[in-house]
Structure 1
Amino acid sequence: MNEPKPLSELIDPGWARALAPVEGKVHELGQMLRSEIQSGNGYLPAGTDVLRAFTYPFDKVKCLIVGQDPYPTPGHAMGLSFSVQPGVKPPRSLVNIFRELTEDLHVPQPSSGDLTPWCEQGVCLLNRVLTVRPGAPASHRGRGWEEVTECAISALVNREQPFVAILWGADARKLAPKLGDNPRIESPHPSPLSASRGFFGSRPFSRANAALESLGIAPINWQLP
């Protein structure tokens, strides 16, 4: 059997150092994903996208947006929380995020659900669980990804540079005690089930930029193409 590639060959060097304590767990999870393929279940996102959130520079992260697990619809998940592949119709949670974005910042409606431009500016779009079985939401929860993403978040907290955390929904908000002194923006989840209970009108984008500026960090241009 092929030896698993070291994280340093797969992701940003800063993230590889940050995740060194859980590298063995990542390789175990890789074996779990191979088993899912062998059993005919498969998994999402595509293998090359599973660790995509960690391919952007660790040292440049200035905002963390935590999701739950990948979209279970084939062709949607791309390894970044809430984001979908270019050309894919945005799921309803993302439609609600875009509605809040346009109302908060008075920017045009995005033409694509691809949030890569945010990542390129230091937004870490991190799901708590990085894979899912197609058509089966939450199917990989409790399999070990939580340990990996908790290590990632702890590493961000332990850096010298502060960051702003945007926590949408009860699952994400459970992380609040682990975020140290970093500013947090919390609200219900943008899902259609909860968006009207406090996500709409929460103005997370302008509040994140105000928090960044108060820390002496350049704001994010949240407008998307």
Structure 2
Amino acid sequence: MPACAGRWRSLLLLRVRWQQRGVTPPLPDPEFFVIPMVNNMTYLAPALATLPAAWQQVLATPAISAQLALIDAQLADRAAAGAVIYPPRELVFNALRHVAPADIRVVIIGQDPYHGAGEAMGLSFSVPDGVKIPPSLRNIYKEQLSDLGLPPPASGNLTHWAAQGVLLLNASLTVEADRAGSHGKLGWQPVTDALIDAVNAANPGCVFLLWGNWAHGKAERIDAARHCVLKAAHPSPLSASRGFLGCRHFSQANQWLAERGRGEIAWGGAVAQGGLF
């Protein structure tokens, strides 16, 4: 079997696995391996191969593709040593599958994925349907209620945000089970900074919601003359009362987008029976 045929068979099997999770990724273009050295990667190859072309081009620069190769080698070694890594490797780049850089309307930057079993799904702050809503996301829902009058949703799955052009990006895209921040020095920051730079350059104007000091540090990468940059404390229970609750970022984002003809985000979801709070 030719190597390319083998890769396509692997991707078709991966597509079936994603459909079983309730996720249906698009099939990639036959020339999907834009990123140099991806054929030599083991851990990240399936997720990279299914990325839309616009994001592959961002990651295809020599410096970033070399960085990805270094990350891939470390992830493969950790997995071989028995480490449990979140999110599942096919969802590492899940945030990029929903929208191209030029079409993004809102960017929300998190720090790293949830480190509990079954929580991380490749979208910052989001958890799959049926998973207990984490404390930070509960505070996000509290702010939505205060700001927009939206009843808290029953689920913590934020895929409906992503589908509307909200990029839910973590600064580090992987983490090990029960070890918060464990991949903070793995080398993800140059990669995710490149993704932020791509949005900054290619997008006609979007809203960056920067929550917490870690996200605030990304402000210097953003052209504030073209984009809207809103800062607040992190929604974690440790800091939410110090500037996140009451920030009104959701209404401000929608107002800014509407004034520029980009449409508002429908932030609400299916309402929790009996109330979440």
Match of residue 216 from structure 1: 261
Instruction: Read off the aligned partner of 1:192 and give its amino acid letter.
Output: P
* 8 A contact 1:188–1:197 mirrored in 2: yes
Match of residue 96 from structure 2: 54
* 8 A contact 2:47–2:92 mirrored in 1: no
Match of 1:141, SS state, is coil
Does residue 152 in structure 1 map to residue 195 in structure 2? Answer: yes
Instruction: Read off the aligned partner of 1:18 and give its amino acid letter.
Output: V
* 8 A contact 1:7–1:23 mirrored in 2: no
* 8 A contact 1:81–1:125 mirrored in 2: yes
Match of residue 15 from structure 1: 55
Instruction: Read off the aligned partner of 1:47 and give its amino acid letter.
Output: R
Match of 2:169, SS state, is strand
Match of residue 194 from structure 1: 239
For 1:121 and 1:163, how far apart are their aligned partners in 2? 12
Shift of 1:150: 0.1
- 1:74-89 to 2 correspondences below 5 Å: 74-89=117-132
Shift of 1:160: 4.5
Shift of 1:12: 1.4
Match of residue 160 from structure 2: 117
Rg comparison, structure with higher value:
2
Which deviates the most, 50-59 or 92-101?
50-59
Shift of 1:131: 0.4
Which deviates the most, 5-14 or 163-172?
5-14
Shift of 1:206: 0.4
Within the candidate set 139, 145, 161, 1:102 is matched to 145
* 8 A contact 2:93–2:173 mirrored in 1: yes
Shift of 1:102: 1.4
Instruction: Read off the aligned partner of 1:37 and give its amino acid letter.
Output: A
Shift of 1:54: 1.1
For 2:150 and 2:96, how far apart are their aligned partners in 1? 28
Instruction: Read off the aligned partner of 1:199 and give its amino acid letter.
Output: F
User: How does the TM-score come out when normalised to structure 2?
Assistant: 0.78
Match of 1:23, SS state, is helix
List runs of 5+ in structure 2 lacking aligned partners.
1-38, 271-277
Match of 1:202, SS state, is coil
List runs of 5+ in structure 1 lacking aligned partners.
none
Match of 1:151, SS state, is helix
Which deviates the most, 168-177 or 11-20?
11-20
User: How does the TM-score come out when normalised to structure 1?
Assistant: 0.95
Does residue 38 in structure 1 map to residue 83 in structure 2? Answer: no
* 8 A contact 1:26–1:148 mirrored in 2: yes
Instruction: Read off the aligned partner of 2:235 and give its amino acid letter.
Output: P
**C-alpha distance after superposition, 1:175-220 (max 9, x if no partner):** 1111112111110000000001111110111011111123321111
Instruction: Read off the aligned partner of 1:126 and give its amino acid letter.
Output: L
Instruction: Read off the aligned partner of 1:151 and give its amino acid letter.
Output: A
Q: After the TM superposition, which segments of 4 or more aligned residues of structure 1 sit over 6 Å from their partners?
A: none
Instruction: Read off the aligned partner of 1:3 and give its amino acid letter.
Output: N
Match of 2:132, SS state, is coil
For 1:50 and 1:18, how far apart are their aligned partners in 2? 16
Instruction: Read off the aligned partner of 2:171 and give its amino acid letter.
Output: R
Shift of 1:6: 8.3
Match of residue 31 from structure 2: none
Match of 2:147, SS state, is helix
Shift of 1:42: 2.2
Does residue 168 in structure 1 map to residue 205 in structure 2? Answer: no
Match of 1:158, SS state, is helix
Instruction: Read off the aligned partner of 1:44 and give its amino acid letter.
Output: Y
Match of residue 206 from structure 1: 251
Match of 2:121, SS state, is coil
Equivalenced residue count is 224
Instruction: Read off the aligned partner of 2:94 and give its amino acid letter.
Output: R
